[in-house]
Amino acid sequence: MSDVHSEELLAQVAALPALPGVYRYFDAQDALLYVGKALNLKRRVSSYFQKNHGGTRIGHMVSKIVRMETTVVRSEAEALLLENNLIKTLNPKFNILFRDDKSYPYLKITGTAGPDRGDAPGQVFPRMAYYRGAVDKKHRYFGPYPSGWAVKESIQLLQKVFRLRTCEDTVFANRTRPCLLYQIKRCTAPCVGLISPEAYAADVSQAQALLRGETQELLKAMETRMMAHSDRLEFEQAAEVRNQIQALSRVLHQQSIETADDKDVDILAVRVQGGRACVNLAMVRGGRHLGDRPYFPVHVEDAAGVFAEEGSDAAGTVAAPVRPVEVLVLEAFIAQHYLGVPVPPVLVTSEPVDKALLGALTEQSGVRVSAIHQPREQRRAWLDMAQKNADLQLARLLAEEGSQQARTRALAEALDLPPDDLDQLTIECFDISHTAGESTQASCVVFHHHKMQSSEYRRYKIEGITGGDDYAAMRQVLTRRYSKVAEAAREAGGIDFAAAPPANGEGDGAIKPKGVARLPDLVLIDGGKGQVSVAREVFTALGLDLTRIVGVEKGEGRKVGLEELVFADGREKVYLGKDSAALMLVAQIRDEAHRFAITGMRAARSKVRVGGGQLEEIPGVGPKKRARLLQRFGGVRGVAAASVEDLLTVDGISRELAEDIYRALR
């Protein structure tokens, strides 16, 4: 393999130290191919360039390497953590990658415990809240939970037993009488002084004990309190504690809360089939099984092909036995997932886990982490359930992907599109929306690789047209969208950018070079002959291919399934049939464009109605902070009426920004 690489690269390989570290390979377009770790950088990296890997996946990867970067570290654990940090942030093509779709939710109890907690409502009478985001030391957090539903269920549990408040501090500070939650026995009404701070603090302490899984200790402590009240002839207080014990006992029975030694456990089951994989993560927190969540990695086949040929990094020269793909997927998940999520002390896994990985997790978290591969009793039941869910989720994914690929193929056949590489078939769809002729917006959604690509969606604010003129709006958005494609084609001396391969032709993991213009294979217009005529005018003026324009015209009575396709190049209209897979794909893309347009229009309309524009004009207040402020105070009037101290209670608002907001709205 060395004859295809530059002397500079081979000299760099020869000069590597025999130390632990992380290496990164890049191709000619400077796209990252692979990230790996090694106990001995020189031996591991040299093995790639000294062997003839043939036509295998690792051979395909090595043939593309033109540049390399390395980082020397102190230990194998440090190398493992750095490797997975880089994989997660840089998305190399030949590594198994797990993408987190969103942060995990927590149950937050406001305020800190202790004598120096302050006199704010959130400190004296802490509230329970659903929370996503970074945790801090100002409050107490429990979790993470696999879903928002699990958090809300836990909040309801604590409301039933300990009756802690859930209202915002601004609402709490302005109550003059108890709310409905007090009437239905879900809150003790600290807002109007119906419970003392000491008694409320005791309820908070007990709620935290339940969340930590200390159920037996909690029940015994409550029984002791009840008997103490009874001995002092405080029968009303004893009855209150008795009612709490009864409510807690019912909850424990209904929720099947475990009282065994397992308080915080993660159960991990992996399933691989058809080139795809699923890791199902089930969470036990405080002895309660909170539910599960599936994860689907990318690059499984390419990464498994590279791993299969990698030798041992031990001192000897004997190659390590090939590990099953399931083990590789599971270890990749553990290494990447727990970079940003607290790791529990016990992992129950469907496959054995490398001790070096557990050691790295222990070193990173400060918690001794152990993995149990062949569990018994309750843990076995948990693992069997997680494995079954992994099987079901993977089967569902494969069925959906097969269906989507069949729809793409059917559309390509119906429209006589080239069937060579359906993965690269790109479709863009446009829709126009407005509010009674005002605030006109155009939306563009993108489909390729058999799925909608939400990161490539775009909205266009349409200006300078007569209100309600959808034709003018369509003319403007198409001109703005594709004029750069036409310009690039002219500058390239007549090269047909429309027929060029996609800029991200390397697949999901490749990075699209900036500035490369490309016309999609199909441009869908939500409309009939009128809208298609406008599109034809724009494409003719720009010198682009008319055969790519297709309008989706509603059928008789605007009934779903009766749509017809209208072409800009003069072909006759086509009715695909209500059961056609091709029409299902067209309708899916058209409906997504409509949904995206409607959500943008509603956001603009609500901003006008609530006066959100006033907040937009304040430097430092972006969409997220503006949404938090409006949600917390119920609108711009509430934000304007809030004090600086009230504004500081909103996540992400510093004192300086709070003062700027206070001044700007007065």
Using CA atoms, how far residue 576 sits from 418, 555, 585, in Å, is 19, 12, 11
Lowest mean pLDDT among 527-531, 548-552, 606-610, 624-628: 606-610
Residue 480 sits at the vertex; the CA angle it makes with 479 and 486, to the nearest 5 degrees, is 65
CA distance linking residue 285 with residue 144, whole number of Å: 9
Q: Which residues contact 603 (CB under 8 A, 6 or more apart)?
A: none
pLDDT > 70? residue 496: no
pLDDT value for 507: 39
DSSP string, 134-157: ---TTSEEE---SSHHHHHHHHHH
Q: Say whether pLDDT at 271 is over 90.
A: yes
Distance CA 123, CA 483 (A): 58
Is the confidence at residue 297, as pLDDT, over 60? yes
Do residues 326 and 349 lie in contact, with contact meaning Cβ atoms separated by under 8 Å?
no
- CATH annotation of 611-664: 1.10.150.20
* pLDDT tens, residue by residue, 537-576: 999 998 888 888 999 888 765 666 678 888 988 888 888 8
Sign of CA dihedral 285, 291, 296, 301: positive
Q: What percent of the chain has pLDDT over 90?
A: 19
Please provide the average confidence, as pLDDT, over all residues in the chain: 81
Average of pLDDT values for 31-38? 91
pLDDT of residue 484: 84
Q: Which helix (H) or strand (E) holds 554?
A: none
Q: H/E element holding 265?
A: strand 265-273
- Strand pairing category for 438-448 and 458-461: antiparallel
Strand partners, 582: none
The rounded distance, in Å, linking the Cα atoms of 575 and 552 is 10
More confident call, 611 vs 225 = 225
Please compute the mean of the pLDDT values over residues 48-72 and round it to a whole number. 84
Chain segment 135-154, per-residue pLDDT in tens: 878 888 887 888 888 888 88
Q: How confident is the model at residue 310 (pLDDT cuts 50, 70, 90)?
A: low
Measured in degrees and rounded to the nearest 5, phi and psi for residue 349 equal: -125, 150
- Report which of residues 320 and 15 the model is more confident about: 15
292 φ/ψ angles, rounded to the nearest 5 degrees: -135, 175
pLDDT over 90 (residue 25): yes
Tell me which of 113 and 125 has the higher pLDDT: 125
The one-letter code for the residue type at 460 is: Y
Domain map of the chain by residue range?
2-90, 105-212, 265-314+321-396, 418-603, 611-664
Spell 247-262 as b/e; 16+ CB within 10 A means b.
Answer: bbeebbeeeebbeeeb
Q: Is residue 52 over pLDDT 90?
A: no
Each residue's pLDDT tens digit, 190-237: 999 899 988 898 889 888 888 887 777 777 777 777 888 788 787 877
pLDDT of res. 499: 40
The amino acid that residue 227 corresponds to is M
pLDDT category of residue 315 using cuts at 50, 70 and 90 = very low
Q: pLDDT at position 610, please?
A: 45
Separation CA 332–CA 257 (nearest Å)? 31
* pLDDT (average), residues 52-75: 85
Q: Compute the distance between CA of residue 519 and CA of residue 497 in angstroms, rounded to an integer.
A: 7
Between CA 313 and CA 44 the distance in angstroms is: 7
Give the residue carrying structure tokens 């402590």: 221
Q: How much is the pLDDT for 663?
A: 80
Q: Which CATH architecture has domain 2-90?
A: 3-Layer(aba) Sandwich (3.40)
Write down the residue that tokens 């399933």 correspond to.
271
Strand 105-109 and strand 438-448: the pairing is: unpaired
- Is the pLDDT at 605 greater than 60? The verdict is no
For residue 390, what are the CA distances in angstroms to 281, 286, 298, 312, 397? 9, 24, 16, 30, 11
Express each pLDDT in 506-528 by its tens digit.
Answer: 334 333 444 445 789 999 998 88
Q: Which CATH code for domain 418-603?
A: 3.30.420.340
Helices (H), 15-147: 41-50, 57-64, 76-90, 121-124
Residue 63 corresponds to which tokens in the numbers above? 């043939």
418-603 has the same fold as 265-314+321-396: yes
Q: Which residue has the tokens 């690489």?
A: 5
The tokens 């010198």 sit on which residue?
543
Q: Which two tokens stand for residue 18?
A: 């025999």
Sign for the CA dihedral angle at 574, 547, 412, 300 comes to negative
Side-chain-side CA neighbours of 551 within 13 Å: the count stands at: 22
132, 204, 265 from 290: Cα distances, Å = 17, 21, 11
Residue bearing the bigger pLDDT, 322 or 387: 387
- 265-314+321-396 sits in which CATH class? alpha beta
SS (H, E, C) 417-475: CCCCCHHHCCEEEEEEEEECCEEEEEEEEEEECCEECHHHCEEEECCCCCCCCHHHHHH
Q: Which residues face 430 on adjacent strands?
A: 444, 525
Residue 654 clears pLDDT 50, i.e. is over it: yes
Q: Identify the H or E element spanning 654.
A: none
The pLDDT tens digits of the residues spanning 409-439 come to: 888 888 887 776 788 899 999 998 876 666 7
Q: What is the arithmetic mean of pLDDT over 310-321?
A: 48
